[in-house]
Amino acid sequence: MVRFGVVLVSFLVLFSCAQIGTINGGAKDISPPRIEKSAPVDGEVNVDTDQIQIEFDEFVVLQKPKENLILLPSDVSYETKLVNKKLTLDLQEKLSPNTTYSLYLNEAIKDLTEGNDTLIQLVFSTGPFLDSNVVNFQVMDAFSNEIEPEITVGLFDSLEQLQPIYFSKTDAQGMARIRAIAEGNYFYAAFDDENKNRARDRDEFQFAEKYSIQVDSNYTDTLKLFISQPLIPQNSLNASFISPYILAIRTPAQYTLDRLKIKGLNMEQIPSQKINEDSLHFYLPSYYDFLQVSLDTLSKKVRNSEDLTKLSLLNKVKNFTLTPKDCCLEMSFDMPLDSIDMTKGSFSLFSPQDSVYTQVQSGVSISNNTFRFNTEGYECNNVRFEIDSGAIWGVNGTVNSAIKTVIQRKEIDALGVLNIDVNTVMKYWFIELHKDGKEVARRHALSGRQRVVFDDLIPGNYTVHIVEDANKNKIWDPFEPTSFRPPEKRFSYGRKTSVKANFEHEIEFIIPE
């Protein structure tokens, strides 16, 4: 296999010099409070007390102690008191015998000046032994594979349990350790506890495993968890307005789109576009304050925003780059288009090289909310495409403002090729090519080891991503909380690939089994 690469060597030269300036207050304190001493001390056994005292290394404030101070097992109530650096918990009942307790300060303590906080755990036992089993976690984003700090990980007695009986939070490296665990079987989950209720809520980034693990002194695994925004529940209908005239609908997996209904609308007369196997966009001919969408027994009322007073692009495009395979450029507007005015020379091409305007007399068309310009027969290399205001009409009678965008056409020798040898045993997968954070190409319905070719690429840096498309729906699916189906695996090539003009590049993408 031919490999192309560049070795970059960086030299860093450090200079220092004397500077005259004012004296400031020093570096900002970014460290959270730490325990200076406590009674009982962390890890102490044979504890017999009616009070827990903790002294911190700096002056602190106590925030929401009833929510953020948690003593587990929760068989003892307590009153809290904070004086300067010392926090006292007066226990209202006697501690249970031969029991390991964990006191969690879940962002309950902040320093006085900068407001830094963290999760602190103090462990002690009323018996001669301390539960000493440990489970380690690493949490990553299921889509980007980036590490996730400040994520709550927990152990549960059952899948139905709302709050964990043991928990911790990930650090800056996405790592977390739950300690002082009693021997037994546990289910585990990770979630971004945005509302601080220690529960895995429906709309929070999360992952939960439906199979339990046996935790004892021999358990040494580090559990790698991939969290995502969960997929809509199987009994929910997802519908929302992209704009006041474009309705997006996504159906649960077990339903088919042909049974979809919108009250008051003839579905056969409403233009629509199938986005993927379970999603549709409807292009509405009129404005509606709300729409009632139904699918068998499922129903959802979708409220609209205010009507539009002008026709605008959904996404502004400053320039278009056309390859030899491209004949057209497209612009998407925020409502279906009604007509275009060709009588006033409203469409033109301006060449900055010779300051000449060329009137566009043909090649323009509309479909749903899309304006299309077929450039065949026109010189479109580094020219400005101009659309006069009022040239395009929306269905509600509004018109566009003036639009100017640059068109550049790349010849074949100004483009590159990327050959990707994918080494995998995955049965179903697809591959995405991204540039500047946007997907520019995709290949579907691939299986096993294959060579994938992306040609006519504009020079620049590209990233490559592969998704194991287990259900063959051509999209990446996140965690599904009802069935506990994990997110589909998404793999990213380890580094950006630089594509050069008139050059063929080779990379090998090995997917771990």
pLDDT digits (tens, 9 = 90+) for 209-244: 999 999 999 999 999 999 999 976 556 788 999 999
- Residue extent(s) of CATH 2.60.40.1220 domains in the chain: 35-125, 319-409
> What does CATH list as the number for 35-125?
2.60.40.1220
Contacts of residue 343, defined as CB under 8 A and 6 or more positions apart, other chains included, come to none
Rounded to whole angstroms, the Cα distance separating 358 from 372 reads: 18
Q: List % helix, strand, coil for the chain (3-state, nearest 5).
A: 0, 45, 50
Q: Over 80: is that where the pLDDT of 509 sits?
A: yes
- The least confident of 16-30, 81-95, 185-199 is 16-30
The tokens of 258 are what?
Answer: 């042909």
Segment 157-161 shows an average pLDDT of: 92
Segment 471-480 shows an average pLDDT of: 90
What are the tens digits of pLDDT across the range 308-367? Answer: 999 999 988 888 999 988 999 999 999 999 999 988 889 999 999 899 999 999 999 999
> What does CATH list as the number for 133-227?
2.60.40.10
In this predicted structure, what is the pLDDT of residue 494?
86
Rounded to whole angstroms, the Cα distance separating 3 from 508 reads: 9
Contacts of residue 512, defined as CB under 8 A and 6 or more positions apart, other chains included, come to none
Q: Over 60: is that where the pLDDT of 459 sits?
A: yes
What integer best gives the mean pLDDT of the chain? 89
Contacts of residue 189, defined as CB under 8 A and 6 or more positions apart, other chains included, come to 153, 154, 156, 164, 200, 206, 207, 208, 209
Q: Over 70: is that where the pLDDT of 45 sits?
A: yes
What are the tens digits of pLDDT across the range 483-500? Answer: 899 999 999 998 999 999
**N-term to C-term CA, the chain:** 22
- Residue extent(s) of CATH 2.60.40.1130 domains in the chain: 238-303
- The least confident of 183-192, 262-271, 412-421, 444-453 is 262-271
- Residue extent(s) of CATH 2.60.40.10 domains in the chain: 133-227, 414-510
Is residue 440 a contact partner of residue 433, using CB atoms and an 8 Å limit?
yes
Is residue 13 very low, low, confident or very high in pLDDT (cuts 50, 70, 90)?
Answer: very low
In this predicted structure, what is the pLDDT of residue 15?
29
Classify 68 as helix, strand or coil: helix
> What does CATH list as the number for 319-409?
2.60.40.1220
In this predicted structure, what is the pLDDT of residue 23?
40
Classify 255 as helix, strand or coil: coil
User: Taking Cα atoms as reference points, which of 409, 428, 513, 413 lies closest to residue 466?
Assistant: 428
Q: pLDDT over 90 for what percent of the chain?
A: 70
CATH 2.60.40.10 fits 414-510, yes or no: yes
In this predicted structure, what is the pLDDT of residue 115?
57
Segment 362-387 shows an average pLDDT of: 94
Rounded to whole angstroms, the Cα distance separating 501 from 455 reads: 11
User: Taking Cα atoms as reference points, which of 328, 331, 340, 338 lies closest to residue 312?
Assistant: 331
Segment 460-468 shows an average pLDDT of: 97
Order of strands, sheet of 403-409, starting from the edge strand that comes earlier in the sequence: 319-322, 403-409, 383-387, 347-351, 356-359
What are the tens digits of pLDDT across the range 79-109? Answer: 999 998 999 999 999 999 999 999 998 888 8
Q: Over 80: is that where the pLDDT of 5 sits?
A: no
Q: Where are the beta strands (DSSP E) in 92-202?
A: 100-106, 109-111, 119-125, 133-141, 152-156, 166-169, 175-181, 184-191
Q: Over 60: is that where the pLDDT of 4 sits?
A: no
> What does CATH list as the number for 238-303?
2.60.40.1130
